[in-house]
Structure 1
Amino acid sequence: MASFRKRGKTWEYRITYNDPITNKRREKPQGGFRTKKEAMIAAAEAELNINNQFIQKNDSITISEYLNIWFDTYKHTVKESSWGPRDDSMVIIKKHIGNIKVKNINTSMYQKFLNDIAPEYAKNTLKGVHDVFKMMTRQAMRDSYFKDYPLEGVRMPRTKDADKVMDDEKLKDIKFWEKEEISKFLQCVKRRGNPQDLAMFVLLVYSGLRIGEATALKWDKIDFEESVVRVRYTLYQKDGLRDNYMLLSPKTSSSIRNVPVPPQVSNQLKILKHVQNQVKMENEDQYKDEGFVFTDKTGRPIPARNFNYKLDTYIKKSGVTRITPHNLRHTYTSLLIDAEVKLKEAQERLGHSSSKTTLDIYSHIMKETKTEAIVQFNAVANEIF
């Protein structure tokens, strides 16, 4: 409702209305009109805009504040497995542009934001940020902060790919087991573990899968006839909870791949499948079969952190060098080098998006093992002359 008053030689109007975002009463004043009639005409137009929700609400609200408002609504419309991963994207947005006012969102500002953070994050991370910001902005448009969509024409920049950069510090962190340590570790798991643990670690050693890719595996992605494991997903589990999970796209597009595996892997997976069938029968009242390879007695996928813990446990029991699940990928790489697998094929098996990454790791591992090669070559030379 509008009220009018004369201030000096000009008139002004003041409209009071309820802000649907904050649920608070707000006022929209405007002055400088020569006559009351001009003020009344302008106020009528302003009230029409308010009724049509074409006003700019709460001019001082920031992106961080509006993100929270949007998220409180959004999370009630989807499953937690869908809104859970949005938290990380919101943290990134708030960190970089959270203090900017919503009314100042425009194409150039947002494009600059994407361009600035692209070198810091992988493609999937940047996509997640972009998805969240688009959803928030569309809601802001529905809430009448904009007449036109402010992100029109925005383009995704080239991103940092975590696989592409292998600096000296990362190379220093590359650890791997020699054949003797692999054997010692797996024999320990065989003696002191269970079929599921043995299947997992045999798989990681002889396939180079990331731990998240392994825990996401389903039986329909295991081709026993061709001895191939088809990597299509990685498993996300919020806070490592077994009943709060979802399948996500792998790290990069090149991570979607078919990995040939030796008979040892196929054999252990067949044994695990037989054991799993028995578990299903024993727990049929609570077993929910979603086709996962590595599960608990209810059919839920086992969190990656469980296998991280078990890796440490078996390492201590077997007395081998302490490494991480990711170092098992380097161990697999060392086996590819021993088998004289060509660089391009190794890149495809490991799911590296850049051949430079594979080459860096190849070179580093070969440097670590060059002493053995020198001894072998010298032995051959001695036999000749």
Structure 2
Amino acid sequence: MAYFRKVPSKKAKSGYTWSFTIETGVDPLTGKRKQTTRRGFATKKEAENAAKELSTQLENGLNIIDNKMTLNQYLPKWLEMAAKRKVKDTTFDHYQNVINFRILPILGHLALRDLNGTVCQKFFNHLLDQELSERYIKYIYNVLNTSLEKAIDWDLILKNPLRKVDLPKERKRKYTVWKREEIHRFLQFAKDEDLHYFALFFVCVYTGIRRGEVLGLKWEDVDLKDGTLHVQRNQTYLRGTYSYGSLKTESSNRIIKLDDETLHILMQNKKRQNELKLLYGPQYSAENLIFSRKNGQPINSATLAKIFNRIIKKSGVPKLRFHDLRHTHATLLLEAGVSLKEVQERLGHSSIKMTGDIYAHVTNKMKNNASKKFSEYMQEHS
């Protein structure tokens, strides 16, 4: 239904113009009716014709948007009403950080209707000028893009302005890995520094397990008879609370075969824990974690990173990220002749293509070795 009004106007010869207001549905965020108003028509007939045209557009599925809601108003509501119900707590926390510290300080004052391709392109160019990684910029893009697609579903905007934005091409990451002698040097310094953390570092190097996975391991995950380790949970730390949830992907839930030395290291760690249980008594945590603080409580990932970096500095080995222990393990497996399929299963990758893409530099070396070995074999028997 349309409503028509005479509006006083000094510029019009008649002393007035006509306007109309047409209802365009209900705002899903506020529950209030949405209306669009058009002004400046010389006659009521002109206003009626324009209103009829808009009604026809609505019937044909074209949204008539006149929304003054800013990103400061919209994005928190999107987080609460949509994102919170679809993603894990840790992912939701990452979304909040991206929105509060990257998007809103620059775009928050803008109304949804004022977002366009030019504004958005300038925003992402600004992120590039700040020397953020291409990967992180793509993550910011994905968060904003998801929110704007939902704004379309909620009839707040007609189209997503990010579709016109060009993002920098993500460069292939160069992974830093340690050589065998560097691993031995690091582990020796770790052993001298703190036996408690030495066992954790050793298991990471010898299994390729992720940081959240190793911090979530419990003693029921180890089968000493079969010599296996079941990776089935991930530790997260959010707003002062530790929790244990599902793994990154379904394929991440896996059973890793352990060598005798790793089993021995684990049992030595278990022996030290039993001694600490006697020392702490009832104050020792009942979480049954394989790797914990001396009182059995969970290890904070930030504390782990701090100790890791300290031992790197003392041992003099090349600096790398904690996650690069995983890449080191995989690289050495491939160089040792382990098949790509076995490495994929051991790391818990969702596909063999993913493993091959990450370790292409190693697999190419393996292909060259295979070609050389075949040639040498053929020459021996010619």
* Deviation of 1:206 (Å): 1.0
Instruction: Decide whether aligned partners of structure 1 residues 345 and 269 sit closer, same or farther in structure 2, where only a CA change above 3 A counts.
Output: same
Q: Which residue of 2 aligns with 1:87?
A: 96
Aligned partner (choices 285, 288, 291) of residue 287 of structure 1: 285
Q: Which residue of 2 aligns with 1:310?
A: 307
CA contact (8 A) 2:228 2:256 kept: yes
Whether 1:321 and 2:330 are equivalent positions in the alignment is: no
3-state secondary structure, aligned to 2:179: coil
Q: Which residue of 1 aligns with 2:123?
A: none
Residue type at the aligned position of 2:347 = L
* Deviation of 1:82 (Å): 6.6
Question: What percentage of aligned pairs have identical amino acids?
Answer: 24
Aligned partner (choices 174, 177, 187) of residue 175 of structure 1: 177
Q: Which residue of 2 aligns with 1:269?
A: 266
Aligned partner (choices 322, 329, 332) of residue 332 of structure 1: 329
Whether 1:66 and 2:74 are equivalent positions in the alignment is: yes
CA contact (8 A) 2:211 2:323 kept: yes
Instruction: Decide whether aligned partners of structure 1 residues 135 and 366 sit closer, same or farther in structure 2, where only a CA change above 3 A counts.
Output: closer
Residue segments in structure 1 that go unaligned for 5+ positions in a row: 47-54, 106-119, 155-159, 368-376, 378-385
3-state secondary structure, aligned to 1:354: helix
Q: Which residue of 1 aligns with 2:355?
A: 354
Deviation per residue, 1:135-175 (Å, 9 max, x gap): 78668867x748x9x89xx9xxxxx999xx45xxx16xx33
In 2, distance between residues paired with 1:56 and 1:209? 52
In 1, distance between residues paired with 2:135 and 2:347? 21
3-state secondary structure, aligned to 2:359: helix
In 1, distance between residues paired with 2:18 and 2:356? 71
Instruction: Decide whether aligned partners of structure 1 residues 12 and 297 sit closer, same or farther in structure 2, where only a CA change above 3 A counts.
Output: same
Residue type at the aligned position of 1:349 = R
Q: TM-score of the superposition, structure 2-length normalised?
A: 0.57
Q: Which residue of 2 aligns with 1:108?
A: none
Whether 1:296 and 2:288 are equivalent positions in the alignment is: no
In 2, distance between residues paired with 1:82 and 1:288? 28
Within 5 Å, which residues of 2 pair with 1:42-121? Answer: 59-63=67-71, 65-71=73-79, 83-88=92-97, 90=99, 102=112, 121=135
* Deviation of 1:67 (Å): 0.3
* Deviation of 1:205 (Å): 1.8
Q: Which residue of 1 aligns with 2:341?
A: 344
* Deviation of 1:223 (Å): 3.2
Residue type at the aligned position of 1:243 = T
Residue type at the aligned position of 1:262 = D
Residue type at the aligned position of 2:356 = S
* Deviation of 1:207 (Å): 0.9
Aligned length: 315
CA contact (8 A) 1:10 1:34 kept: yes
Instruction: Decide whether aligned partners of structure 1 residues 188 and 326 sit closer, same or farther in structure 2, where only a CA change above 3 A counts.
Output: same
Aligned residues: CA RMSD: 5.5
Shift >6 Å, 4+ stretches: 19-22, 55-58, 72-80, 91-100, 128-133, 139-142, 364-367
* Deviation of 1:309 (Å): 2.5
Q: Which residue of 1 aligns with 2:371?
A: none
CA contact (8 A) 1:202 1:264 kept: no
* Deviation of 1:214 (Å): 1.9
* Deviation of 1:231 (Å): 3.3
The structure, 1 or 2, with the larger RCO (C-alpha pairs under 8 Å, 6+ apart) is 1
Instruction: Decide whether aligned partners of structure 1 residues 33 and 215 sit closer, same or farther in structure 2, where only a CA change above 3 A counts.
Output: farther
Deviation per residue, 1:191-243 (Å, 9 max, x gap): 4413x3122011012112233332233334333333223334544435xx763
Residue segments in structure 2 that go unaligned for 5+ positions in a row: 9-13, 56-62, 116-133, 164-168, 369-375, 377-382
In 1, distance between residues paired with 2:202 and 2:92? 34
CA contact (8 A) 1:5 1:12 kept: yes
In 1, distance between residues paired with 2:228 and 2:294? 26
Deviation per residue, 1:280-315 (Å, 9 max, x gap): 5626357362x5432235654313332333233334
Within 5 Å, which residues of 2 pair with 1:170-319? Answer: 170=174, 174-179=176-181, 181-194=182-195, 196-238=196-238, 243=241, 247=245, 249-250=247-248, 255-277=252-274, 279=276, 282=280, 284-285=282-283, 287=285, 289=287, 291-296=288-293, 299-317=296-314, 319=315
Instruction: Decide whether aligned partners of structure 1 residues 273 and 191 sit closer, same or farther in structure 2, where only a CA change above 3 A counts.
Output: same
* Deviation of 1:358 (Å): 2.7
In 1, distance between residues paired with 2:225 and 2:251? 24
CA contact (8 A) 1:56 1:103 kept: no
